[in-house]
Structure 1
């Protein structure tokens, strides 16, 4: 009976050691994944080292973004191209607020503002107020394989900018038929004057 108790104690002890080792390994991997995410931001968005994109992004990844980019497969170079388009038009002033990791997912909340040095950048990209963004990366074999993007610019002037742009586009679309109508009216006037 004593040997059964010793065997059970040994089994519980060994399972506890393996459990602790598994938790320690998982925690270490989560810290490594958070570092991959931090370095991704540092190189592509906080400094203009976009050629380092291959260090962080898998050759092909899935993106869940705003607009039409939902559940879309993209090549790694796409992240470089997006970052380059920003860097060609200005620069970021950004910082990571915090990160949370669980299993192969890393959530990063970062805040940034963009200062433009081009006309296009001032119209389309510049932010007077900092915008908070939450990205969630799925990391596999040391690379980002899936990417969720959530911007928090609803309460900033960005929303007004998009509203004004939408109004301007709508106004332009409405002016086209009016211009055509005016043109047709002038032609009819010329035709009537020739008949008289």
Structure 2
């Protein structure tokens, strides 16, 4: 009886130790994933060390964004290109992280970024902005393999520019309609005048 009790106690203790080890391992991996994401932000966005992009981003990743970047596959260097654009065309960048949550292979970060343009292209594309952003990144084999971008950019220049261009094109089309009608009327009047002159000569 005593031997059976010891055996049951040993099995229970072994199960508890394994469960604790699994929990510790999962917690450790979650912290590692957060370190990868924080390193990505630190090198590409907090400091201008964009050449380190390959340390954090897989050779190809999936991005969930708007427009052409919706559920698309991009090379890792695209993250460097995006960051380089902001470093080149904006100044007075201020970034503050509000909170970060990790669950399994996912890391979600909510932060706020503000900037001012310092080039003409920066003024046209980005303008002056102050934008809250939520990024969700999925980590696999120590690299970021998937991005979800959620930007509150409804008031930003980048968001308004397509609307401005479409509005300009629509306004131009409306302005050209009377011109087209007048041109057609002029041709009609000209043809009618020529016809009347021919009849008069006959």
Q: Return the TM-score normalized by structure 2.
A: 0.83
Structure 1: distance between partners of 2:192 and 2:121: 47
Q: Give the CA deviation at 1:189.
A: 5.8
Q: In 1, are the aligned partners of 2:61 and 2:74 still within 8 Å (CA)? A: yes
Cα RMSD over matched residues? 2.5
The one-character-per-residue Cα deviations of 1:120-165 (angstroms, maximum 9, x if unpaired) are: 211221234x2111111111111101111111234x4559845545
Rounded Cα–Cα distance in structure 1 between residues aligned with 2:106 and 2:156: 31
Aligned residues: 194
Equivalence map 1:50-129=2 (5 Å): 50-91=50-91, 92-128=93-129
Summarize deviations over 1:44-99 as a string: whole Å, max 9, x none: 22222211111110001111112232221111111111222222211332122211
Any conservation in 1 of the 2:94–2:114 contact (CA below 8 Å)? yes
Q: Which moved more, 1:163-172 or 1:114-123?
A: 163-172
| Deviation at residue 33 of structure 1 after TM alignment | 0.9
Q: What are the residue-to-residue correspondences of 1:90-169 with 2, within 5 Å?
A: 90-91=90-91, 92-128=93-129, 130-154=130-154, 156=155, 158=157, 161-162=160-161, 163-169=163-169
Aligned to 2:28: 28
Larger gyration radius, structure 1 or structure 2: 2
The 3 A distance-change label for structure 1 pair 183 and 90 is farther
Distance across 2 between alignment mates of 1:171 and 1:108: 41
In structure 1, how many angstroms separate the alpha carbons of the residues matched to 2:159 and 2:72? 28
When normalised by structure 1's length, the TM-score is 0.85
**Structure 1, unaligned runs of 5 or more:** none
Structure 1 runs (4+) greater than 6 angstroms displaced: 192-195
Gaps of 5+ in 2: 198-202
1:12 aligns with 2:7: no
